[in-house]
A and B are shown apart, each in its own frame.
Chain A
Amino acid sequence: MKRILASVTDGKGFDIGLVLLPLAFLLVLSGLPLVYNVVMSFQEVDMFSLGTFARPFVGFKNYVDLFSQPETRPILLNTALFVSASIAGQFLIGFGLALFFSMNFPGASWLRGLFLVSWVMPGLVVGAIWNWILSGDFGVLNFFLRETGIIDGNIFWRSDPHYSLWAVIIANIWLGTSFNMILLSVGLSGIPKDLYEAAELDGANALQRFFTITLPMMRSTIGAIIALGLIFTLQQFDLFAGITSGGPNNSSNVTQYWAWDLSFRQYDFAKGATISVIMIVFVMLASVVYVRSTRHEVRG
């Protein structure tokens, strides 16, 4: 008894306790809901059976039904486009800004801090503001493009099926760029300066230094950022709610918004869960990348 107690206060028991606590936390708050969601996707659920577990199992019916719907393919493609374009935009602009601010000109850190404002703003607020900016008749963006002579007629960003998804992507890039920039800045400052000095002495130009030192040294940071970006864009919901509501005609609909629409607008909870399961698979892939690219940090 005494030994066990001693081990809990100082010893192996203590270590195990430390591990078990967060594990239990994770299991209750993430694991169980996840399993519940998967189970739900194989059941017939309506709002009145929402409170019970005893619901009829229907096998893969929800999945089959889902994939036989005409809007499923375009929505999956939209999601792929949204995720890849958002990540590409956020990453490239964020990297550019990080490099720019790493030049350490006067006020650089101040300005860098200011950029974080966009990340601090709640998504719904950002969505509402971009909703105005992208408005067809009186939007600021159209006004700007018209005055600079880039376009002749107004572009109806939110209502033209050719542009609606891009409208949300633009807003999302704006929202996520600063987060990318900060993480990349941290990565940049971790690269030892003497590497650059040595390369410079050897006659490497700026481009060569970037491709042979900066990029390889940043590999794990970049991997982590892209994995995080994938997770963040896959859970980006507020902008869709704020700007296009997935319309017109699903042209800007993505899986995460669709799952919500099915569950809470059409009360088809089983299908909503089914989409979530499909998304979980993708997020898990991203998590694997994230964990792998940050693993060395743990080993120190």
Chain B
Amino acid sequence: MGIRRYAMLGVFALASVSLSALSASAEDVTISVWSLDRDIQPAPNLINDFNKLNTGIKVEYRQIQFDDVVSEAMRAYSTGQAPDIIAVDNPEHALFSSRGAFLDLTDMIAKSSVVKTENYFPGPLASVTWDGKYYGIPKATNTIALFYNKDMFKAKGLDPDKPPQTWDELVEAARKLTDPAANVYGLAFSAKANEEGTFQFLPWAQMAGGGYDKINSEGAVKALDLWKTILDEKLASPDTLTRGQWDSTGTFNSGNAAMAISGPWELDRMIKEAKFDWGVALLPVPALGAERSSAMGDFNWAIFSSTEHPQEAFKVLEYFVSQDDRMFKDFGQLPARSDISIPATGEPLKDAALKVFLEQLKYAKPRGPHPEWPKISKAIQDAIQAALTGQMSSKEALDQAAEKIKAVLG
């Protein structure tokens, strides 16, 4: 009897202990995260690290393919199976935030000690903004600048330490560098009829005072005329019209183009493949002292408004943000923040390039933000291609694009 009583007591004691333990694990919240990051990229690694911290929040990860991000997200959201957190490409962000699919994070960010809006570059921050509120946090960022082959500059009597500063200098340099006999074009870029074409063209229009909402302004027409000159004089391969940035820059790496316009994602491959001395310069401007501009790429984090655990989801995002200083060192991506100094990699070409890209990032502008960005982008792509194939003048093509964009903007 006595023994039994003690046993009972023991059971109660155990139960009360395990009850508190149980209540802890019952509070374990599961947060699901979708992004396109592969195993060597940030999201899955940061999530692993986060799960090791045992914060009572368990994060599950699912990788989605680049082309499927928006359609998967839409389908999941409309059927009520959306994840808590997702990474979306920045021009697509407004599509979701404008429709209330993403959670308004403005208040949480205001209270947060980790996420501070003033730490971010203006471009990426603008892409998560809709109607003056923050619907996400920039995940990483990138932009485009001018790569140039220093050896070819020397060979053609150009100063390898003075890359072209203005549009005129760019065309002039391209003319000198183009050498059909040696299969060398002056410049490689992409005017492909997809988002890449818009991504590459908008900076030029913006530098000259144009923009997606004033695409037929004088400056934008001038920018398209510049591209037309480059293609008409065969300073760039006619295949520029159908080649993406990665393939175009490939011709630069193989020595078949003397300059290339592309982004930091090229650096690792270029270091490996390019057997010559190269440098990176800011995108040339219409005239000395003119406003600078560049494109802005990469993804943003966002929390779906359908989440049951907004606080916990935000905590996960705070953790991601707290690890931003590892972005370049561990994953080769640029954090979208101006307050983080990126340590040198020890690779001189890469470090020099990084400096230029960080400078260029200050002028990077988001595409949009607008919920119907793909339609706007399509109008711009069509105009670029119509003008560059000679089927319309730059002015006519951009007028038509402006018309279409006006219909979208309402």
Binding site for B on A (CB under 8 A): 47-52, 70-71, 135-138, 156, 158-161, 164, 244-251, 264-268
Taking CB atoms, residues of chain A closer than 8 Å to B375 are: 266, 268
Distance from A138 Cβ to chain B, minimum over Cβ atoms (Å): 8
Taking CB atoms, residues of chain A closer than 8 Å to B241 are: 158-159, 247-248
Determine whether the beta carbon of A266 is less than 8 Å from that of B239: no
Contact flag A266-B378 (CB < 8 Å), given A48-B78, A248-B388: yes
Q: 16 pairs across A/B with beta carbons < 8 Å?
A: A47-B78, A48-B99, A50-B78, A51-B75, A71-B382, A137-B251, A156-B237, A156-B239, A158-B239, A159-B242, A161-B391, A164-B242, A244-B242, A247-B385, A251-B389, A266-B375
Distance from B167 Cβ to chain A, minimum over Cβ atoms (Å): 23
Taking CB atoms, residues of chain A closer than 8 Å to B400 are: 70
Distance from B130 Cβ to chain A, minimum over Cβ atoms (Å): 15
Q: In the docked arrangement, what's the CA distance between A156 and B382, Å?
A: 19
Residue picked from B95, B185, B193, most chain A C-beta under 10 Å: B193
Taking CB atoms, residues of chain A closer than 8 Å to B78 are: 47-52
Determine whether the beta carbon of B242 is less than 8 Å from that of A249: no
Q: In the docked arrangement, what's the CA distance between A49 and B192, Å?
A: 31
Q: In the docked arrangement, what's the CA distance between A62 and B241, Å?
A: 30
Taking CB atoms, residues of chain B closer than 8 Å to A135 are: 239
Distance from B272 Cβ to chain A, minimum over Cβ atoms (Å): 20
- As a 0/1 sequence over residues 66 to 80 of chain B, the CB contacts with chain A under 8 angstroms (1 = contact) are 010011001101110
Binding site for A on B (CB under 8 A): 67, 70-71, 74-75, 77-79, 95, 99, 101, 183, 185, 192-194, 237-242, 251, 256, 374-375, 378, 382, 385-386, 388-389, 391, 400
Determine whether the beta carbon of B242 is less than 8 Å from that of A265: no
Distance from A72 Cβ to chain B, minimum over Cβ atoms (Å): 13
Determine whether the beta carbon of B374 is less than 8 Å from that of A266: yes
Q: In the docked arrangement, what's the CA distance between A47 and B95, Å?
A: 10
For B77, give the chain A residue with the smallest CB separation: A48
For A135, give the chain B residue with the smallest CB separation: B239
A-B interface contact total, Cβ < 8 Å: 88
Contact flag A48-B74 (CB < 8 Å), given A137-B183, A246-B193, A265-B378: yes
Contact flag A249-B237 (CB < 8 Å), given A48-B78, A52-B78, A161-B391: no
Contact flag A47-B194 (CB < 8 Å), given A244-B242, A247-B385, A250-B382: no
Determine whether the beta carbon of A159 is less than 8 Å from that of B240: yes
Contact flag A161-B101 (CB < 8 Å), given A137-B256, A246-B193, A248-B242: no
Determine whether the beta carbon of A50 is less than 8 Å from that of B74: yes
**Which of A70, A245, A265 makes the CB contact (< 8 A) with B374?**
A265
Taking CB atoms, residues of chain A closer than 8 Å to B237 are: 136-137, 156
Taking CB atoms, residues of chain A closer than 8 Å to B99 are: 48
Contact flag A247-B256 (CB < 8 Å), given A158-B239, A159-B240, A268-B375: no
**Which of A50, A156, A250, A266 makes the CB contact (< 8 A) with B75?**
A50
Taking CB atoms, residues of chain A closer than 8 Å to B71 are: 47, 264
Determine whether the beta carbon of B74 is less than 8 Å from that of A248: no
Taking CB atoms, residues of chain A closer than 8 Å to B388 are: 248
For A265, give the chain B residue with the smallest CB separation: B374
Q: In the docked arrangement, what's the CA distance between A264 and B73, Å?
A: 13
Determine whether the beta carbon of A158 is less than 8 Å from that of B382: no
For A252, give the chain B residue with the smallest CB separation: B242
For A71, give the chain B residue with the smallest CB separation: B382
Contact flag A51-B79 (CB < 8 Å), given A159-B242, A266-B378: yes
For A244, give the chain B residue with the smallest CB separation: B242
Distance from A249 Cβ to chain B, minimum over Cβ atoms (Å): 4
Q: In the docked arrangement, what's the CA distance between A246 and B183, Å?
A: 27
Q: In the docked arrangement, what's the CA distance between A71 and B378, Å?
A: 12
Q: In the docked arrangement, what's the CA distance between A119 and B241, Å?
A: 29
Taking CB atoms, residues of chain B closer than 8 Å to A71 are: 382
Taking CB atoms, residues of chain A closer than 8 Å to B183 are: 137-138
**Which of A49, A158, A248 makes the CB contact (< 8 A) with B385?**
A248
Distance from A152 Cβ to chain B, minimum over Cβ atoms (Å): 13
Determine whether the beta carbon of A249 is less than 8 Å from that of B374: no
Residue picked from B101, B240, B242, B386, most chain A C-beta under 10 Å: B242
Q: In the docked arrangement, what's the CA distance between A249 and B378, Å?
A: 11
Determine whether the beta carbon of B238 is less than 8 Å from that of A160: yes
Taking CB atoms, residues of chain B closer than 8 Å to A50 are: 74-75, 78
Taking CB atoms, residues of chain A closer than 8 Å to B251 are: 137
Determine whether the beta carbon of B239 is less than 8 Å from that of A137: yes
**Which of B193, B239, B256 makes the CB contact (< 8 A) with A249?**
B193
Q: In the docked arrangement, what's the CA distance between A264 and B71, Å?
A: 7
Q: In the docked arrangement, what's the CA distance between A231 and B192, Å?
A: 29
Taking CB atoms, residues of chain B closer than 8 Å to A246 are: 193
Q: In the docked arrangement, what's the CA distance between A266 and B375, Å?
A: 6
For B67, give the chain A residue with the smallest CB separation: A264
Q: In the docked arrangement, what's the CA distance between A16 and B209, Å?
A: 72
For A52, give the chain B residue with the smallest CB separation: B78
A159-B238, A159-B242, A247-B241 given; 12 more Cβ-contact pairs under 8 Å: A47-B70, A48-B99, A48-B101, A51-B75, A52-B78, A136-B238, A156-B239, A158-B239, A245-B194, A249-B382, A249-B391, A267-B95
Determine whether the beta carbon of B374 is less than 8 Å from that of A267: yes
Distance from A55 Cβ to chain B, minimum over Cβ atoms (Å): 11
Taking CB atoms, residues of chain B closer than 8 Å to A137 are: 183, 185, 237, 239, 251, 256
Distance from B88 Cβ to chain A, minimum over Cβ atoms (Å): 12
Q: In the docked arrangement, what's the CA distance between A281 and B80, Å?
A: 35
Give 3 closest A-B pairs by Cβ, nearest first.
A51-B78, A249-B385, A47-B74
For B193, give the chain A residue with the smallest CB separation: A247
Q: In the docked arrangement, what's the CA distance between A266 and B71, Å?
A: 11
Q: In the docked arrangement, what's the CA distance between A66 and B31, Å?
A: 43
Determine whether the beta carbon of A136 is less than 8 Å from that of B389: no
Taking CB atoms, residues of chain B closer than 8 Å to A164 are: 242
Determine whether the beta carbon of B193 is less than 8 Å from that of A248: yes
Distance from A268 Cβ to chain B, minimum over Cβ atoms (Å): 7
Taking CB atoms, residues of chain B closer than 8 Å to A251 are: 389
Determine whether the beta carbon of A159 is less than 8 Å from that of B239: yes
For B244, give the chain A residue with the smallest CB separation: A245
